[in-house]
């Protein structure tokens, strides 16, 4: 394959590109290297990829349509993994326009470029946040997702709708992956594990929202990568059993699918903190705070459809093991 990975300097993007290169694919990575979090970390991730002779990087914003179209014309990509986006639930409350530009305009540009260049399969990042106000657990792909509680979630649902339109109109295979709380080495500094680790090591309090009464389906990065590449290798086909009178939003008469990718084992937030304290060897100063706007109480993925699509996929890394690996990486990277 010749694969374009957007957001290649990001957390998931770097790990996906690394594995694609390891198995012999040619990879082109693009990223705008914005300053949403420390750019030095993004450049360090990128430096690891640039050591590989089958990797090429272009500093490019997917919202820049002419530049993106030129890259597609030059690249001759067979497959695209679209991970570039403005991330973060809380940030979407204070910086809404960044989400419209990156997640809506940028995604439209990617869809159009894939159509024009006849890409064989587009895999793109959706999010567990699309489940919004749902309380029935575990979350299934055919659950209703029409009540988002953040703009970030709304843009990810919009991506799924936009992708379906292109799958229907142009028979372009698209797969949306609803990621559930991804963590691990080289992770994002705006996420809880990173912030908690930094604070505990510095002897500072950690803010625990909703007084710790939350659960998350923490999913280790290696499991995510297995899922992403497994789906990339298996483009969806039109579903011959699709019933338009009882439509399932996660599948279609078109070559389209939406799949959960999570750990299937939601962990109470306070237990997650316990695991982090054990890995660091130091207790946290716990600052229990009320629920924050845009947050949800719990996430829990049903991954039966992903497992069926991949012939038996199941996540394999426990939270205790995964947190330990992250802390080991963090100490090494920051020389703590």
DSSP 260-326: EES-S--EEHHHHHHHHHHHHTS--EEEE-PPPTT--SB--B--HHHHHHHTS------HHHHHHHH
Residue 47, burial from CB neighbour count under 10 angstroms (0-12, 13-18, 19+): exposed
Are the CB atoms for 77 and 43 separated by under 8 Å? no
Q: What angle do CA 78, 79, 84 make, to 5 degrees?
A: 140
CA pair distance 119, 176, nearest whole angstrom: 15
Alpha helices of the chain — where are they, by DSSP H? 11-22, 39-50, 65-75, 91-94, 96-99, 106-116, 151-170, 192-202, 221-232, 269-280, 304-310, 319-333
152 is catalytic: yes
Give every CB contact of residue 150 below 8 A, 6+ residues apart in sequence: 89, 90, 92, 93, 129, 132, 293, 294
Region of residue 74 (phi > 0: left; psi between -120 and 50: alpha; otherwise: beta): alpha
Cα dihedral 15, 21, 25, 30 in deg (nearest 10): 60
The active-site residue out of 99, 152, 220, 300 is 152
Query: What distances in angstroms separate CA 237 from CA 240, 251, 254, 258, one per listed residue?
Result: 9, 10, 7, 12
* Nearest in space to 36 (alpha carbons), one of 81, 96, 98: 98
| Catalytic positions, written as ranges | 152
């Amino acid at each position: 394959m010749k694969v374009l990975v957007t957001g290649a300097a990001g957390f998931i993007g770097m790990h996906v590109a690394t594995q694609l290169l390891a198995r012999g694919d040619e990879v082109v990575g693009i990223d705008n290297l914005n300053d949403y979090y420390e750019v030095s970390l993004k450049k360090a991730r990128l430096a690891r990829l640039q050591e590989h002779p089958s990797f090429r990087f272009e500093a490019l914003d997917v919202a820049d349509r002419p530049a993106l179209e030129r890259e597609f014309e030059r690249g001759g990509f067979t497959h695209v993994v679209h991970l570039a986006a403005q991330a973060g639930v809380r940030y979407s409350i204070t910086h809404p326009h960044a989400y419209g530009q990156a997640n809506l305009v940028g995604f439209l540009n990617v869809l159009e470029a894939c159509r024009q260049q006849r890409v064989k399969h587009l895999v793109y990042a959706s999010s567990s946040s699309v489940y919004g106000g749902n309380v029935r657990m575990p979350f299934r792909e055919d659950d209703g997702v029409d009540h988002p509680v953040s703009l970030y979630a709304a843009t990810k649902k919009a991506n799924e709708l936009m992708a379906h339109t292109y799958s229907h109109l142009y028979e372009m295979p698209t797969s949306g992956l609803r990621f559930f709380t991804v963590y691990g080495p080289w992770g994002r500094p705006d996420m809880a594990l990173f912030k908690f680790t930094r604070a505990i090591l510095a002897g500072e309090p950690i803010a625990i929202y909703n007084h710790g009464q939350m659960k998350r389906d923490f999913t280790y990065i290696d499991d995510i990568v297995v899922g992403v590449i497994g789906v990339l290798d298996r483009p969806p086909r039109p579903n011959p059993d699709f019933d338009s009178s009882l439509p399932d939003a996660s599948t279609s008469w078109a070559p389209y699918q939406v799949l959960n990718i999570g750990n299937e084992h939601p962990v109470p937030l306070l237990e997650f903190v316990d695991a982090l304290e054990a890995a660091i060897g130091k207790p946290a100063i716990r600052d229990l705070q009320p629920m924050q706007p845009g947050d949800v109480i719990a996430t829990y993925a049903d991954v039966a459809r992903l497992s069926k699509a991949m012939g038996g996929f199941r996540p394999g890394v426990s939270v205790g093991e995964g947190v330990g690996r992250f802390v080991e990486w963090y100490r090494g990277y920051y020389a703590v």
